[in-house]
């Protein structure tokens, strides 16, 4: 990895500072109240969009700022480091890549500038299904072509932000699995206009979870999608999905690094101030060392995330690094979350301290968008050359 130039360091410093200042307008109380009401952070997402941060990865010719994944990751890291939750809007950054890389010029001209200026929100992607889970090639939601339309039928689960998005990237099967040579073939990606779809073949049912995540179940009953909304070639959808995964892994890793730094800072401060048995609890090695260890692990994960992002931005292969970054950062943030609760004792459970909220939020990254076991399976098979285990 080459050392960043002074210009790049300056840009990154300014970016961090800008996002921090924006986030200061949305303090702990803002996120706490939304969490209690399980409400979507509309004002925050609007502010982030208006400031142009969510269009970081959109090229300048389509109205974005044309930055790299390194910079996009800094933005999301700072949101989580401030105590907020990028989960409300992170998908816009990595979902948009499917459209950018595989969409036609007409699709890009039609949608990207509107996404960049916030007129259109592309916050949702529909992959997971209740009966197939991590085994993505088995998705059963199907699209059958009828003239200039596809008719979509099936069901998706855990589709986040669908109620707060205008567009959704949807993975469907267009050729039955019995008729393809490889199970990864015959899948396609459609761009669904949710504003037209809801109530006309698409029903959305919110799913309440242990954290505030605006996730939903989707039911498709003869939903009509114009053929012009097919992204790329029919049948190649799985490849397009894979193409977007590295960016997604890196961005989630950065959010976890942000979470971890937030937990460590809160734990450090509390351990230094809380006096029990006549001295700060942080003077005890039983409290101090777990915080120090969590810090070490977050910093190590951050290096892997930076390496993966640097490779990605130089168009180098980065599947191994992106997956390792996601795994290391998710584990490190979860470790830091546990340490923060333990350090705060009873107050770690109190809503007013926000530790328990962030603890619930960061747990997600052990499971989504890809679970730790599936990353280990990828490393075992593709990096270490062991037999396929799934
Ligand atoms: C809050 C939330 C938001 C989400 N948002 C979205 C979204 O916007 N869009 C979307 O498409 N999906 C979304 N997801 C889905 C998420 O990507 C899946 O939950 C995740 O990929 C795991 O799939 P699953 O839940 O079906 O678990 P399963 O695949 O059923 O796996 C269950 C457990 O078994 C383990 N496991 C499975 N197979 C193996 C194996 N061969 N070897 C070892 N272990 C194995 C897994 O690691 C996991 O721990 C979201 C999920 C949540 C909880």
Give the mean model confidence (pLDDT) for residues 231-241. 96
The C-alpha atoms of residue 257 and residue 35 are separated, in whole angstroms, by: 21
User: Measured from the CB, is residue 94 less than 6 Å from ligand 1?
Assistant: no
Pick the residue whose CA is nearest to atom 9 on ligand 1.
159
Write down the pLDDT at residue 2: 53
Neighbours of 7 (CB within 10 A): 8
Write down the pLDDT at residue 217: 98
Give the mean model confidence (pLDDT) for residues 34-49. 98
CA of 366 to the centre of ligand 1 (A): 9
- The candidate with the shortest Cα–Cα distance to 242, out of 313, 317, 306, is 317
CA of 370 to the centre of ligand 1 (A): 6
Model pTM? 0.97
- At 76-96, the pLDDT tens digits run 999 999 999 999 999 989 888
Is 215's pLDDT higher than 80?
Answer: yes
Pairing of the two strands 149-160 and 215-226: antiparallel
User: Measured from the CB, is residue 128 less than 6 Å from ligand 1?
Assistant: yes
CA of 135 to the centre of ligand 1 (A): 9
Give the mean model confidence (pLDDT) for residues 143-167. 98
The mean of the pLDDT values for the chain is 97
Question: Residue 359 is encoded by which pair of tokens?
Answer: 């603890």
Pocket test for ligand 1, best of 165, 244, 369 (most atoms within 8 A of CB): 369
Write down the pLDDT at residue 4: 67
Write down the pLDDT at residue 143: 98
Q: Point out the ligand 1 atom lying closest to the alpha carbon of residue 162.
A: 8
Is 214's pLDDT higher than 80?
Answer: yes
Pocket test for ligand 1, best of 371, 374, 375, 381 (most atoms within 8 A of CB): 371
Write down the pLDDT at residue 108: 97
Residues 141, 222: contact at Cβ < 8 Å?
no
- The candidate with the shortest Cα–Cα distance to 259, out of 158, 383, 357, 389, is 357
The C-alpha atoms of residue 92 and residue 271 are separated, in whole angstroms, by: 37
Residues 65, 113: contact at Cβ < 8 Å?
no
Pocket test for ligand 1, best of 367, 372, 377, 386 (most atoms within 8 A of CB): 367
Residue 197 vs residue 390, higher pLDDT: 197
CA of 313 to the centre of ligand 1 (A): 28
CA of 12 to the centre of ligand 1 (A): 33
Q: Point out the ligand 1 atom lying closest to the alpha carbon of residue 156.
A: 11
The C-alpha atoms of residue 122 and residue 111 are separated, in whole angstroms, by: 9
Write down the pLDDT at residue 94: 87
- Count of alpha carbons within 13 angstroms of residue 79, beta-carbon side: 25
- For residue 188, the cross-strand partners are 172
Pocket test for ligand 1, best of 38, 88, 123, 133 (most atoms within 8 A of CB): 133
- The candidate with the shortest Cα–Cα distance to 15, out of 49, 56, 43, 45, is 56
Pick the residue whose CA is nearest to atom 51 on ligand 1.
158
CA of 14 to the centre of ligand 1 (A): 36
Whole-angstrom distance between the N-terminal and C-terminal Cα of the chain? 33
Three-state DSSP at 201 gives coil
Question: Residue 197 is encoded by which pair of tokens?
Answer: 């779809």
Biggest alpha carbon distance in the chain?
Answer: 78
Number of H helices, E strands in the chain: 12, 10
Is 3's pLDDT higher than 70?
Answer: no
Write down the pLDDT at residue 6: 83
CA of 373 to the centre of ligand 1 (A): 10
Helix (H) or strand (E) segment spanning residue 188: strand 187-193
Give the mean model confidence (pLDDT) for residues 249-276. 98
Write down the pLDDT at residue 130: 97
User: Measured from the CB, is residue 253 less than 6 Å from ligand 1?
Assistant: no
* Residues in CB range of 254: below 8 A, 6 or more apart: 73, 74, 76, 77, 305, 309, 329
Give the mean model confidence (pLDDT) for residues 376-384. 97
Q: pLDDT class for 51, splitting at 50, 70, 90?
A: very high
Write down the pLDDT at residue 5: 81
């Amino acid at each position: 990895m080459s050392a960043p130039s002074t210009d790049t360091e300056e840009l990154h410093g300014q970016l961090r500072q800008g996002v921090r200042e924006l986030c200061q307008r949305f303090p702990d109380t803002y996120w706490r109240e939304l969490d209690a009401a399980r409400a979507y952070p509309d004002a925050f997402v609007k502010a982030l969009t208006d400031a142009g941060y969510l269009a970081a990865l959109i090229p300048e010719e389509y109205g974005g700022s044309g930055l790299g994944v390194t910079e996009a990751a800094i933005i999301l890291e700072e949101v989580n480091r401030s105590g907020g939750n990028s989960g409300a809007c992170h998908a816009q950054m990595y979902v948009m890549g499917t459209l950018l890389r595989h969409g036609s010029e007409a699709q890009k001209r039609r949608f990207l500038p509107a996404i960049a200026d916030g007129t259109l929100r592309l916050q949702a992607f529909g992959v997971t299904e209740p009966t197939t889970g991590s085994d993505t090639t088995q998705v059963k939601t199907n699209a059958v072509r009828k003239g200039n339309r596809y008719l979509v039928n099936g069901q998706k689960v855990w589709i986040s932000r669908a109620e707060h998005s205008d567009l959704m990237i949807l993975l469907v099967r267009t050729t039955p699995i019995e008729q393809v040579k490889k199970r990864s073939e015959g899948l396609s990606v459609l761009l669904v206009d949710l504003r037209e779809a809801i109530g006309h073949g698409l029903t959305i049912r919110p799913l309440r979870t242990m954290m505030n995540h605006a996730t939903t179940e989707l039911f498709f009953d003869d939903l009509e999608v114009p053929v012009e909304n097919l992204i790329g070639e029919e049948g190649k959808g799985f490849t397009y999905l894979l193409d977007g995964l590295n960016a997604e892994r890196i961005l989630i890793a950065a959010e976890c690094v942000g979470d971890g730094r937030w937990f460590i800072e809160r734990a450090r401060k509390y351990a230094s101030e809380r006096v029990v048995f006549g001295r700060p609890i942080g003077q005890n090695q039983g409290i101090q060392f777990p915080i120090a260890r969590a810090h070490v692990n977050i910093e190590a994960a951050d290096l892997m995330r930076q390496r993966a992002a640097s490779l990605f931005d130089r168009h180098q292969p980065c599947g191994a690094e992106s997956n390792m970054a996601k795994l290391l950062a998710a584990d490190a943030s979860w470790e830091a979350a546990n340490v923060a609760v333990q350090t705060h004792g009873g107050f770690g459970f109190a809503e007013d301290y926000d530790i328990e909220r962030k603890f619930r939020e960061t747990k997600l990254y052990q499971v989504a968008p890809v679970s730790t076991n599936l990353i280990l399976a990828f490393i075992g098979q593709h990096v270490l050359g062991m037999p396929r285990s799934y």
